[in-house]
Structure 1
Amino acid sequence: MNQRLQNLSIWLKENDISFAFITSTPNVFYLSNFYSDPHERLLALIAFPDKEPILVCPQMEVLQAKQAGWDYHIIGYSDIDNPWELVSKYINNQKVHVSKIAVEKSHLTMERYEQIHTYFPDTSFLNVEEKLRELRMIKDEKEIAILRQAAELADFGVETGVKALAEGKTELEIIAAIEFELKKKGVREMSFATMVLTGEKTAAPHGVPGLAPIKKGDFVLFDLGVVLDGYCSDITRTVAFGEANGQQKEIYETVLKAQIAAIHACKPGIEIGQIDKAARTVIEQAGYGEYFTHRVGHGLGIDVHEYPSMNSTNTMPLQQGMVFTIEPGIYVPAIGGVRIEDDVFITKDGVEILTKYPKELQII
């Protein structure tokens, strides 16, 4: 049994839990190395405190699960089978006394809860998500190696986008150029919908790219990431096209100083909230505090947004092995916005920046 499953089984035993019923694709992948998007079908990993785990998946994916390295029992079911009945039969045959089940409360639908309750009626439910977040938050050497490679591809994506800039080209044209070149490098999936915004649209932190043409004097904001071997990268860079006026330069330099201040604050033992405050203080002192409208970053791994949350109220200390983004921004309506985002890894002594595309203001 791999160390991740062992850690979960130990937690189940310590808390006298009958079994954990894990159904989200990211957590199943984390525990099994099997990545599946089953759509409406049931995907589940069932872990016990003192028995071998089992996997539940559509019959057509059983071979893929085995190829991913799953060596334990698999309940493969067809589209005319009732997988809940098969699960119940297996657990009863194992003579498991079911009194407490750990589930992902934010992922389990009411319909699936009712199915579990039908087959295991005298049962209480606990939330396993906090334990899984705790386990996933600290990356091992293999995960860090993948995240480094994913960050390199994100750097390449921004480089490609910057090279593709030309007056009159649209945001979607630039996105197409970025994703085409990444596909040629073997990237099948982006971490999220690639964002290229230009002009006043850069003032929307989560703006929607469209057919807006790039014009001289515009900020152009790139926000993108790739999925590599199940792990995500996430980078943001902002450039000026053709020219930049005094206020644009001031906004950019303020964000850059804020981002550098936050990175310098990163070291094991420092409270997460201090990282947000380091960036926010720079922006507030420059008079743009009201235009920094989000937390300074988020955890990064199998999900593009995972724990820890890098907000100002988080008192959790940074730990070696954490990977997260640092991405302060200033967004001024009718003028535009700037965000600079890197993926960082907490080392024994400080921080390693995984994304390396230049951050100094570029006028393209």
Structure 2
Amino acid sequence: MSPNHTAARPWDGPHAGLRPSDDELARRRTAVRALMEEEGVEALLLYGSPGLDGEVNYLADFNVTREAVLVVPATGEPALYIEYFNHVPHARRSARGCEVRWGHEQIAETVADDLRRRGLARTSVGFAGLLPVQRYHALCEELPSVNFRDLTPVLRRLRLVKSEEEIALLRRGAWLTDLAMEALAREARPGLTEYDLVALIEAAYLGAGGQTTIHYLATTPMEAPVRCVPAQQPSRRTLAPGDVLLTEISAQYRGYPGQALRPFTIGAGPTPRYQRMYDVAVEAFERIAAILKAGATTDEVLDAAEYIHAEGFTICDDLLHGYGGGYLPPILRTRRTRAHPHPPFRFEANMTVVIQPNVITPDEQAGVQVGELVRITQGGVERLHTYPMRFTRCG
């Protein structure tokens, strides 16, 4: 059965969520230039590559297709440099608020030329994003008098609080992600391989305009498990009755993803051990969700997470992380599973985070994971997903 892409959609409202408005992009540029002035830089270089392009997308409304650098001067028009020449026509049609240019064979040298033309070869220049060391060294060699500063943390801090238009786009990402969960609940059965499951997941949202951020999954027998957390790559393993399927799925729309984590059983209900792990995971999720609101602290979240250890379990994956335009702070593990104490952090309204307790046995052989993207509000959390919290039996 094909998913119903014409059903009522949860992001409909004051803003349709198709693309950021011109006013929204202007608001972002103003905020970034205010940050630049505060940090004392005359230009900001935003680096992006596929999956790591939150900074570029934030200001140019463009999902990077290979490699790109957005040059944002304190005054004047930004310029977006695209690595591959055949990617330039698409970028010119898609990117907004900037002039799109070819980056030539050496994109760092081309960016350095841009800064020289703007008279910025002896100034302080910031950069943000995971700029490769080769590109950084090339910039330093081309512009030895420039003081380059990594502003990635301060720019990401600026982006933690989402606008109403960003929330609308995240709702769309959550809807697309829920389509994948519905497809698994409907179609997963004995005889399919993990590769088949990935095909089901992508088919659910590609026709609705979605793109893949991640689709992690793992299958293992509940009576003799050897996997406790969704895997980053699927295998040829064939599903059999009595298996558990662990999932972490993020489908996105124009760089704004949802994220949902649910377990499924195949051809049988959960065993008592898996039912207990699921119950503990859901209780941990609900305890954390009950604490989160504007003004709540990470210490309060970590206090609630001690419940997992009190029940005799531990975790593998992160407990909670910021999300939406990148993998963002705070990134939390439980106190007993982190090497160093977490830095202090206070949540604010319109931050978006994924609560995702991955409850596992101490020997790391068995586990379940539940979770989803939520919005922090003044009084609590708003769940952006509609797919229910349940341990679904398939097949």
Which moves more between the two structures, 84-93 or 343-352?
A: 84-93
Q: Matches of residues 290-305 of structure 1 in structure 2 within 5 Å?
A: 291-303=314-326, 305=327
RMSD: 2.5
Are positions 1:264 and 2:290 aligned together?
yes
Contact 1:171 1:198 in 2 (8 A): no
Within the candidate set 258, 266, 284, 2:309 is matched to 284
Distance in 2 of aligned mates of 1:139 and 1:52: 25
> CA separation of 1:173/1:76 partners in 2, compared to 1, >3 Å: closer, same or farther?
closer
Within the candidate set 52, 63, 74, 1:35 is matched to 63
Within the candidate set 169, 180, 195, 1:157 is matched to 180
1:15, CA displacement in angstroms?
Answer: 2.8
Secondary structure, aligned partner of 1:344: strand
1:257, CA displacement in angstroms?
Answer: 0.8
- Unaligned ranges ≥5, structure 1: none
Are positions 1:347 and 2:377 aligned together?
yes
Distance in 1 of aligned mates of 2:232 and 2:195: 13
Are positions 1:323 and 2:352 aligned together?
yes
Equivalent residue letter for 2:139 = I
Equivalent residue letter for 1:152 = W
1:85, CA displacement in angstroms?
Answer: 5.2
Within the candidate set 9, 12, 26, 2:54 is matched to 26
Contact 2:217 2:230 in 1 (8 A): no
Secondary structure, aligned partner of 2:330: strand
Distance in 1 of aligned mates of 2:392 and 2:296: 32
Equivalent residue letter for 1:351 = V
> CA separation of 1:175/1:127 partners in 2, compared to 1, >3 Å: closer, same or farther?
same
1:362, CA displacement in angstroms?
Answer: 3.2
Indicate the residue corresponding to 2:247 in structure 1. 222
Task: Report Cα offsets for 1:279-304 as digits up to 9, x if no partner.
Answer: x222122122xx3234312111122x
Task: Report Cα offsets for 1:65-102 as digits up to 9, x if no partner.
Answer: 443353444443555xx655554444334333623221
> CA separation of 1:9/1:156 partners in 2, compared to 1, >3 Å: closer, same or farther?
same
Are positions 1:173 and 2:196 aligned together?
yes
Indicate the residue corresponding to 1:251 in structure 2. 277
> CA separation of 1:165/1:102 partners in 2, compared to 1, >3 Å: closer, same or farther?
same
> CA separation of 1:247/1:67 partners in 2, compared to 1, >3 Å: closer, same or farther?
same
Which moves more between the two structures, 88-97 or 253-262?
A: 88-97
Q: TM-score with structure 2 length normalisation?
A: 0.81
1:46, CA displacement in angstroms?
Answer: 1.5
Are positions 1:109 and 2:132 aligned together?
yes
- Unaligned ranges ≥5, structure 2: 1-24, 335-341
Indicate the residue corresponding to 1:308 in structure 2. 330
Task: Report Cα offsets for 1:293-341 as digits up to 9, x if no partner.
Answer: 34312111122x2233234524211111111100102223586311001
Indicate the residue corresponding to 1:359 in structure 2. 389
Equivalent residue letter for 1:156 = L
Distance in 2 of aligned mates of 1:356 and 1:287: 31
Equivalent residue letter for 1:213 = T
Distance in 1 of aligned mates of 2:274 and 2:41: 57
Equivalent residue letter for 2:116 = N
1:237, CA displacement in angstroms?
Answer: 0.5
Q: Matches of residues 31-180 of structure 1 in structure 2 within 5 Å?
A: 31-39=59-67, 43-58=68-83, 59-68=85-94, 70-79=96-105, 83-84=107-108, 86-96=110-120, 98-104=122-128, 107-180=130-203
Equivalent residue letter for 1:345 = R
Secondary structure, aligned partner of 1:203: coil
> CA separation of 1:292/1:54 partners in 2, compared to 1, >3 Å: closer, same or farther?
same
Q: Matches of residues 225-244 of structure 1 in structure 2 within 5 Å?
A: 225-241=250-266, 242-244=268-270
1:9, CA displacement in angstroms?
Answer: 1.7
> CA separation of 1:122/1:96 partners in 2, compared to 1, >3 Å: closer, same or farther?
closer
Distance in 2 of aligned mates of 1:228 and 1:210: 27
Task: Report Cα offsets for 1:116-136 as digits up to 9, x if no partner.
Answer: 123321222211101210122
> CA separation of 1:336/1:168 partners in 2, compared to 1, >3 Å: closer, same or farther?
farther
Secondary structure, aligned partner of 1:192: strand
Contact 1:8 1:47 in 2 (8 A): no
Contact 1:18 1:99 in 2 (8 A): yes
Indicate the residue corresponding to 2:19 in structure 1. none
Indicate the residue corresponding to 2:22 in structure 1. none
1:157, CA displacement in angstroms?
Answer: 0.8
Secondary structure, aligned partner of 1:150: helix
Contact 1:18 1:97 in 2 (8 A): no
Q: TM-score with structure 1 length normalisation?
A: 0.87
Give percent identity, aligned residues only: 21
Which moves more between the two structures, 316-325 or 212-221?
A: 212-221
Distance in 2 of aligned mates of 1:178 and 1:48: 41
Within the candidate set 169, 185, 190, 2:212 is matched to 190
> CA separation of 1:361/1:84 partners in 2, compared to 1, >3 Å: closer, same or farther?
closer
